[in-house]
Structure 1
Amino acid sequence: MSASGDPHHPSRRLLLTTATALVAGTSLPLAGAHAAAAALPGAAAQEPPGAAASFTNPLFWQDFADIDVIRVGDTYYYSASTMHYSPGAPILRSYDLVNWEFAGHSVPRLDFGAKYDLSGGRGYVRGVWASSLAYRPSNRTFYWLGQIDFARTYIYTATSVEGPWSRHAELPQVYFDAGLLVDSDDTMYVAYGNTQIHVAQLSPDGRSQVRSQQVFSTPSSIGTLEGARFYKINGAYYIFLTRPANGQYILRSTSGPFGPYTLRQILLDLPGPIPGGGVPHQGGLVQTQNGDWYYLAFIDAYPGGRVPALAPITWSGDGWPQLQLVGGAWGAAYPVPNLPPPPRQVEPLTGVDTFPGTILTPKWEWNHNPDPAHYTVNNGLTLRAATVTGDLYSARNTLTHRVPGPTSTATITLDHQQMRDGDRVGLAMLRDASAWIGLKRDNGATRLVMVDGLTMDSNWNTTGTGSERATAPVTGTRIQLRATADIRPGAGRQARFSYSTDGITFTGLGPAFTLNNAWQFFMGYRYAIFNHATQALGGAVTVNRFELTTP
């Protein structure tokens, strides 16, 4: 989604339905790049058939926006935006399109300037926006292509989604909201643009441009089209485009990747499966190994962010796709995909992390790039204060995790005996309006506090560094801090903080904090663990355990 597209705020959702069809696109029958040679399935009824087993939407209630989805053999991969969080461009993995696990990140570090290190500037709501993931069978390599800061485009490659990922030279053209296609003859193409849609052909190594051509100009009656996904299906080329944040359109060419293209509307103001949420849009198409098709889109559901929803796709005889509706809407439930049994169960997206080993798992992302010299992982996470600041938004080494919905609870176990005077340590609900529970150490004494009033303006400059709303004495050197959040769109959307000294009985601290549900920050709330100094570096804390639960 681009800055120029005005995302559809839930309060403005029109709740209209259309009977128009949806989407097109593909992954390879055997190796899920965006090229395919499979024949189109026949037309099917609008309502899905009944089945004993079904899945519900959203697939999982966590913030993974600007979706690209591919299949490689029997494995599905899902790539998403992360903006200022590092590492960037997470990849999820699934064997059934319904249950997903964290697998890796395509962008290991936001090495695009000092502002991403919170040094001399900040990169909030910049960084990794809508990007594309593809697999190239000829060299058995994954390709990630993305635009950074609206000013430059990079290709990253890896032979495994777990990495290591390598960044290659900056491409000469800026590919806005790019969709990467590996054609059946191994040529690589990029569809990109906002309103004016272009197609570029890349060099054989994918690291330079051979040619680029505008292939479509969006009519003013439609407005903005962006978020390109590029597919080849049964010899025809399809560019799947979103109208933010309530519509989806498709371009189709039977004369090659450079067109000419025919436009068709595929959904507009379609009711989604989250009450108060937005219209499912801006995702990707994937074909299963059994020949079935699915569309994986996201739903605006602030304050939690943009969360995924899955729906089956069928095809008309003239080569256009159709979304299977339920009662004139994107279904809250569909039959599970007909797929072989998975080789194993995926790792759950919630649970306990005791930080074993020496590296963080892919579920974690830092607020901007971390300073590796000031944290260690070794049967616990030790955070040494990395920044002297009174502003949490400027503090390095703030570690974040997405907030699951509709409600969830995060609890950390914290050893704070190495804190120093001036240190601020805690568990935050982090976004452009934030609050936290944690510890302040001043003049040799440590206090437990609940703080809110941390705010940013529309340019993401700090306008409030927080005010204490409650305090309590601290005994011992270990404490459990807890945040419980309701991220359903609407009037509730509150977080509450509590603490425990025995890990059994938790005591509330401070008033409920109302979560901001404006869309402009784009990313949803995160649970965030932080330690920063206000006087001098040298202090440290150890997080022995993080537990994330949903009802």
Structure 2
Amino acid sequence: MMKPLLPILSLATAITAQYQNPVLWEDLADIDILRVDDAFYYSASTMHYSPGAPILRSYDLVNWEYAGHSVPELDWGDKYNLNGGRAYVKGIWASTLNYRPSTSSFYWGGCIESGKTYMYTAPAVEGPWERHDPPIDRCYYDAGLLVDDDDALYVAYGNTEISVARLSEDGFSEVENRQVFTSDFTIEGARFYKIDGKYYILVTRPPDAQFVLMSTAGPFGPYTMKPLVDRVASPVPETGAPHQGGIVDTPNGDWYYMAFIDAYPGGRLPVLAPIIFDADGWPSVQLVNGGWGASYPMPTISASASKKVKRTLGTDTFNGTSLSHEWEWNHNPDTTKYSVDNGLYLQAATVTDDLYAARNTLTRRIPGPASTATIILDIAGMLDGDHAGLTLLRQSSAWIGIKKDAGGAARVVMVNGITMTEDWETDSKGEETDSVPVPEGAERVWLRARADIDPSSAGEGSFEYSVDGEGFLPLGDTLVFNREWQFFMGYRFGIFYYATQELGGTVVVEEFEVVVA
């Protein structure tokens, strides 16, 4: 008897699902990645943005949600409050995140401005996060934290000369320190692991390679070095080679390497590839035609239907009384000048005519390769001289917004040419390129920013406005994005409000929507 044909559904499911690189088209650099039971966690750099060190969560290594921040406040001096100074491109660089089973605690550590290393702990990534003082009186530059099998804590760190420190039992001070390896070329970005009895320190050679140091004798070495991936083609055209990241295993024993690619003007984007270990314990990336694959088979992980992550795109109506973890402020905010209560209420926090000096600019990463952000702004509470709106923010910026002129007249304005010097001081406060009056009696405006951050594109931003939420009109000229790497962070959408005459005004952001083009 002839056997029945397989149903179409069975044939379809035989086709292996694929994921695409980058797994997140967002600026999330200096990756530290780990697994706790069936959940994966991912920590990234944030420089001067607050709260700092975002933590993302996934159950399949491909789909991620923002789950928390390890550093609730950048409490390392007044410049982080835009008070008497600025902290642009300072703050949180390559830091480390790990989990300690014996105390059921997450540990975060980071060296701030090449001075001291600060340690924070929390019972869950959502917090509450506690800073432990005094800080360790040594800079663990580009650190990687290891929780050993016997619960001892070690940190690998350094630039070219790699050292290992053994921490105290609580992890908040140092008890031993040794230099374990010296390279003939620059290496940094340490990540520390113990796998099958061997100790591994992953290091990057910026900007295009990743190497592995391996020891079979213990955490202090001696170590030998081999490349993990060296100057391979990126899966995204016109971007740098994958490097500087971490490795993680799945519950069924497969291993993956998450690296980033330099993809300005958008920033540094995470890419994921499987790795395998040879008989001697050396890992290597599984390449596709000699390069990092644009796609790979989905990791073989079975997550329960209840463990699905929340997408970061769509509309935020600021429900509840706190901001979601996708949001970060440009420097620490003045917490007395904003609130969340089914809408974002902003009071002018600074008297200035300089966007870069204004406190309480709220930012979100721009998802690529191109996206559009729209806000609904209630302007009824603005005072004469106030400026409020939506910006494309980096060291070369522009914005669309409302200027309240003398006598109470309001205009929709596009300002371009806002720039910083190489020392991150304001070079130009920009100039109006176009404006239109807000219709008399109108209390709400819709402001829109379009951003194309694809490295293969022209790299431009543009702006539109509406007074009814339906018909949008372009305003002003285009912002040509700055592609230089020295600012490190990519362009962001930013919502701002500041006074040029006196404090006391208020605006309400009723909605923020972001859509990938």
TM-score, structure 1 as length reference: 0.90
1:218 and 2:183 matched: yes
- Match in the other structure for 1:430: 393
Which one of 132, 140, 145 corresponds to residue 175 of structure 1?
Answer: 140
Which one of 121, 128, 137 corresponds to residue 157 of structure 1?
Answer: 121
1:533 and 2:499 matched: yes
| Alpha-carbon offset, residue 345 of structure 1 | 2.0
Q: Is the CA contact 2:38–2:303 (under 8 Å) kept in the aligned structure 1?
A: no
Q: Secondary structure at the match of 1:284?
A: strand
- Match in the other structure for 2:171: 206
Q: Distance in 2 between matches of 1:426 and 1:376?
A: 17
- Match in the other structure for 1:33: none
| Alpha-carbon offset, residue 271 of structure 1 | 0.5
Deviant stretches of 4+, over 4 Å: none
Q: Distance in 1 between matches of 2:466 and 2:403?
A: 16
- Match in the other structure for 2:224: 262
Q: Distance in 2 between matches of 1:484 and 1:300?
A: 21
- Match in the other structure for 1:132: 96
Q: Is the CA contact 1:248–1:266 (under 8 Å) kept in the aligned structure 2?
A: yes
Q: Distance in 1 between matches of 2:491 and 2:257?
A: 26
Q: Is the CA contact 2:243–2:260 (under 8 Å) kept in the aligned structure 1?
A: yes
- Match in the other structure for 1:36: none
Aligned residue runs from structure 1 range 385-424, under 5 A: 385-424=348-387
- Match in the other structure for 1:188: 153
Instruction: Give, as a single letter, the amino acid of the residue that structure 2 aligns with 1:532.
Output: Y
Q: Distance in 2 between matches of 1:119 and 1:102?
A: 29
- Match in the other structure for 1:299: 261
1:450 and 2:414 matched: yes
Q: Distance in 2 between matches of 1:210 and 1:290?
A: 36
Q: Quick one: higher RCO (CA 8 Å, sep 6+), 1 or 2?
A: 1
- Match in the other structure for 2:7: none
- Match in the other structure for 2:443: 477
Q: Distance in 1 between matches of 2:511 and 2:34?
A: 34
| Alpha-carbon offset, residue 51 of structure 1 | 5.2
Instruction: Give, as a single letter, the amino acid of the residue that structure 2 aligns with 1:202.
Output: L
Which one of 303, 321, 333 corresponds to residue 341 of structure 1?
Answer: 303
Q: Distance in 2 between matches of 1:199 and 1:51?
A: 46
Q: Secondary structure at the match of 2:430?
A: strand
Instruction: Give, as a single letter, the amino acid of the residue that structure 1 aligns with 2:301.
Output: L
Q: Distance in 2 between matches of 1:89 and 1:322?
A: 28
Q: Secondary structure at the match of 1:116?
A: helix
Name the Cα RMSD after superposition: 0.9
Residues 391-431 of structure 1 deviation map (CA, whole Å, 9 limit, x = unaligned) = 10000000000000000000000000111111111100000
Instruction: Give, as a single letter, the amino acid of the residue that structure 1 aligns with 2:356.
Output: Y
Q: Is the CA contact 1:181–1:189 (under 8 Å) kept in the aligned structure 2?
A: yes
- Match in the other structure for 1:3: none
Aligned residue runs from structure 1 range 453-472, under 5 A: 453-472=417-436
Q: Distance in 1 between matches of 2:207 and 2:506?
A: 43
Q: Secondary structure at the match of 1:204?
A: coil
- Match in the other structure for 2:8: none
Aligned residues: 499
Gaps of 5+ in 1: 1-49
Instruction: Give, as a single letter, the amino acid of the residue that structure 1 aligns with 2:176.
Output: R
Which one of 88, 91, 112 corresponds to residue 76 of structure 2?
Answer: 112
| Alpha-carbon offset, residue 214 of structure 1 | 0.3
Q: Distance in 2 between matches of 1:344 and 1:257?
A: 36
Q: Is the CA contact 1:51–1:335 (under 8 Å) kept in the aligned structure 2?
A: no
Which one of 280, 285, 288 corresponds to residue 247 of structure 2?
Answer: 285
Gaps of 5+ in 2: 1-13
Q: Is the CA contact 2:115–2:137 (under 8 Å) kept in the aligned structure 1?
A: no
Q: Distance in 1 between matches of 2:145 and 2:24?
A: 26
Q: Distance in 2 between matches of 1:537 and 1:473?
A: 23
| Alpha-carbon offset, residue 358 of structure 1 | 0.9
Instruction: Give, as a single letter, the amino acid of the residue that structure 2 aligns with 1:57.
Output: N
TM-score, structure 2 as length reference: 0.96
| Alpha-carbon offset, residue 526 of structure 1 | 0.5
| Alpha-carbon offset, residue 306 of structure 1 | 0.4
Aligned residue runs from structure 1 range 60-79, under 5 A: 60-79=24-43
1:275 and 2:275 matched: no
Q: Distance in 1 between matches of 2:124 and 2:516?
A: 31
- Match in the other structure for 1:248: 210
1:362 and 2:325 matched: yes
Which one of 37, 46, 50 corresponds to residue 82 of structure 1?
Answer: 46
Q: Secondary structure at the match of 2:342?
A: coil
Q: Distance in 1 between matches of 2:373 and 2:39?
A: 30
Identity of aligned residues (%): 59
| Alpha-carbon offset, residue 341 of structure 1 | 2.7
Q: Distance in 1 between matches of 2:247 and 2:33?
A: 7
1:233 and 2:195 matched: yes
Aligned residue runs from structure 1 range 93-108, under 5 A: 93-108=57-72
